[in-house]
Structures are given as C-alpha cells and as structure tokens.
Amino acid sequence: MAKGESVAGTDIPPGGFVQLLTPDGERIDSVTAADGTTYSVDFTDEEYRELYRDLVTVRRLDTEAVALQRQGELGIWASLLGQEAAQVGSGRALRPQDMAFPTYREHGVLYCRGIDPIMPFGLFRGVDQGGWDANEFKFNQYTIVIGSQTLHATGYAMGVTMDGKTGSADGEAVIAYFGDGATSQGEVNEAFVWSGVFNSPIVFFCQNNQYAISEPLERQTRVPLYQRAGGYGFPGIRVDGNDVLATFAVTRAALDNARNGQGPTLIEAYTYRMGAHTSSDDPTRYRISSEVESWKAKDPISRLRAFLSKQKIAKKDFFAEVDETANKKALDLRERVLAMPDPEPVTLFDHVYPNGSPELDAQRDAFTRYQASFEGSGH
C-alpha cells in the first residue's frame, strides 16, 4: 500500500500503512496509497515544534493523571500513553467547526480542541459524569459504553448534511473515535452502514492499540480493520498511528473529503497502548515484555524529537523548555484536581429531566427533609 512498507521491515503490518516519519526520525516526503491518494505535510518549523509540544504536554498530563489515580485521587484512569501521535495528529487536523465524538481515552484530542484538560477529571474522580457542553466545545462527552458514540456521530453528521453544511471546502465534518475492540460491536457496524448509505460527512477514527482490555486484535477480526470499509462502500486507510505527521495528513485528507461532500472514511491508526487498559488492569497477564519493548522503539515522541534535532528545527533548550512548561501544567492540573469539591448531595436530583418531574420533586423534598433531620441532632 504505502512506500513506507520497506522502511522498518517486520515492524510494519502486512498491507503496510502510511508513514511520513520513521521510528528513527527520518522524514518520508510523501506517500502514495493504493488508491492513488498522496499524503504529505508541509509544516513550518514553528508548527513542527508546536506538534512536539502537544505530544509532550498530553503525555505529561496523562502521567500526572496516572499518579493521581495511584494516590487514590481518581477512581480510575484510562491512559493514552503510546497513543499521543494518533490523538494529536488527528486532533490537530480538525478545524474549529468540526465535531468530535470520543470514547473515554481521547484526552489528547480534547487537549487539541483547546479544552481545559481538567474537564474529564470530574468523571474519573467521581464528582460528576462529564458535564461539559458538547456543542460549546465541539467535543462530545466521553462515552463508556463501547461503540455507542459512533452512532451519535453518524446522526450528527446526517444533521450537518441536512443543515447544508457540506459540499464546500469550509464545510463541517465529524470525527468518531473508537478502539479495535469496538469494531466488533453491532452499533459500530450500524454506524458504518448508515454513514455509507447517507454519504455522511464523517471520519471513523479507529485507534487500533492492539488490545481490548486483554483480548488481542485477533479476537476481534480476521481481516485488517481498515479493509472493512470497502464492504460499506467507503474508503479505508491504515496509518502509522505512532507517526504524528502521517496521522495528521491522513485525517486532514479524510476530513476534507467529508466536508467536501465525498462521504465517510475509515482510518485505522495502527498503534499500541503502552500502559494498562485502565488503572484497574494488569497487562502482564496477557502480553509479554518483549512486545512492549518493540513498541517502545517506535515511540511517537522520541521519533519527532530525533527529526527536530537532526533537522536543527529545535535544540536542547527548546526541549527543556517544553518539558518544564508541561511540568508546570501538570502540577497546576494536580492542584486543581485535588481542589475539585464533591457535589452537594441534593444535586443528585438535578438534571434528570429538563423541566423536572413531580415525582422526582417529591423525592428531592423527602431527601432534603431527611438530611435536615440529622442537623443539630449530634450526627
């Protein structure tokens, strides 16, 4: 499929993928896929440096979250470690008007949307269930039930078409994130069917991180995931998900196709989850350390850093400054997470129905009276 095929030997999956930056930090100018599409990027030095900053920052924030979880400050955390390039590459390819539908792991995409990184912490700390305004940020709430959000994205994309916001270079596009495990869900397949049938302006962005909790890819599929798209009548493409340049190029092209009225694309970002599935998981039970080591060699950050150094786009002091700034952000985040208050108990009853419910109002009143009965009674 891609010229990249010859680059790193056994590291490349059968069928190849689009790669613009090798694990050693060598830049591949452009890659022409089997369907004739040519992928490339044309970044200024400043843009390269900012991409690097994004990668480092989202990793550093994630590391802080893992630490907070270990210290008992978060109930659970789904780490993005290893998937930074897939998330930053695709996230930076989005335009302000595009709408994203994430799972529970897309902290990097969230960051790229310009959203305060504290937002998902309410969910993981257990003080709320998300609670941000999807429309304000053009980034839907996290979705825990695997695959459900792909249908929401599909419906939203139908709405974009109905609003007449496709068919031009500045139209709107929608991106739906999901994992390799999700591709087994009926709802994801329904989302593919619908989007194909309605030619909706949507990009399905699958981060194939090789595992669904403990189950390897082979438990979900016998064919490479990107090849499924053909059966639904739209293109599928695989990209090196640890290569932020390629991920950006492929996603931008797919989003542009969507906004131009050319319909959906399935992108399989071939990557690896370096940490545990969530903080509740023990990955040593189902994968061997040599596998993890082999993926470490493909790290998305070190390869971009190697490239920046070789090309003299950035020097030591830049890297140090990035680390330091990211560190500050992480410590600031930590403080704010620790300061997140528990909600008032009576808010339990809020927002069940937009206009309330007499039954629920009665329950809230009873609850309030019951709580008040303890006040001043020594409890």
Partner 1 sequence: MITLGKALNHGLRRAMEDDPKVVIMGEDVGKLGGVFRITDALQKDFGENRVIDTPLAEAGIVGTAVGLAIRGFRPVCEIQFDGFVFPAYNQIVAQVAKMHYRSKGKLRLPITIRIPFGGGIGAVEHHSESPEAYFAHTAGLKVVTCSNPADAYTMIQQAIASDDPVIFFEPKRRYWEKGEVDLDAPLSGAFPLHSARVARPGSDATLLAYGPMVRVALDAASAAAEDGRELEVIDLRSLSPIDYPVLFESVRRTGRAVVVHEAPGNVGLGAEIAARITEECFYSLEAPVLRVTGYDIPYPAARVEEEYLPDLDRVLDAVDRSFGW
140 binds partner 1 (CB under 8 A): yes
Judged by CB under 8 A, which of 96, 355, 374, 377 binds partner 1? 355
CB atoms within 10 A of CB 293: 9
360 binds partner 1 (CB under 8 A): yes
3-state DSSP assignment of residue 234: coil
Strands 202-208 and 174-179: parallel
105 binds, among partner 1, ligand TPP, none (CB under 5 to 8 A by kind): ligand TPP
Do the beta carbons of residue 209 and residue 83 sit within 8 Å? yes
Do the beta carbons of residue 130 and residue 122 sit within 8 Å? yes
142/87 Cα distance (integer angstroms): 15
- Cβ nearer to ligand TPP, comparing 182 with 203: 182
297 binds partner 1 (CB under 8 A): no
H helix or E strand, kind and range, residue 104: none
Provide the minimum distance between the beta carbon of 123 and ligand TPP in the complex, in angstroms, as a whole number.
13
Provide the minimum distance between the beta carbon of 91 and partner 1 in the complex, in angstroms, as a whole number.
20
H helix or E strand, kind and range, residue 206: strand 202-208
Q: How many residues bind partner 1 (CB under 8 A)?
A: 45
Considering the candidates 59, 252, 273, 305, report the single residue annotated as catalytic.
Answer: 273
Please compute, for residue 338, the number of CA atoms within 13 A of its CA located in the half-sphere on the CB side: 11
24 binds partner 1 (CB under 8 A): no
Do the beta carbons of residue 69 and residue 124 sit within 8 Å? yes
154 binds partner 1 (CB under 8 A): yes
Binding mask 159-188 for ligand TPP (x = CB under 6 A): -------------------xxxxx------
129 binds partner 1 (CB under 8 A): yes
Provide the minimum distance between the beta carbon of 184 and ligand TPP in the complex, in angstroms, as a whole number.
8
79 binds, among ligand TPP, partner 1, none (CB under 5 to 8 A by kind): none
379 classed as catalytic: no
Judged by CB under 8 A, which of 14, 96, 186, 341 binds partner 1? 186
Do the beta carbons of residue 349 and residue 360 sit within 8 Å? yes
274/151 Cα distance (integer angstroms): 28
52/55 Cα distance (integer angstroms): 5
17/234 Cα distance (integer angstroms): 18
97 binds partner 1 (CB under 8 A): no
206/265 Cα distance (integer angstroms): 11
Q: Which residues bind ligand TPP (CB under 6 A)?
A: 105, 144-146, 178-182, 207, 209, 211-213, 273, 277
- For binding to partner 1 (CB under 8 A), which residues are involved? 101, 128-136, 140-141, 143, 145, 148, 150-160, 162-163, 186-187, 190-191, 193-194, 197, 350-355, 357-360
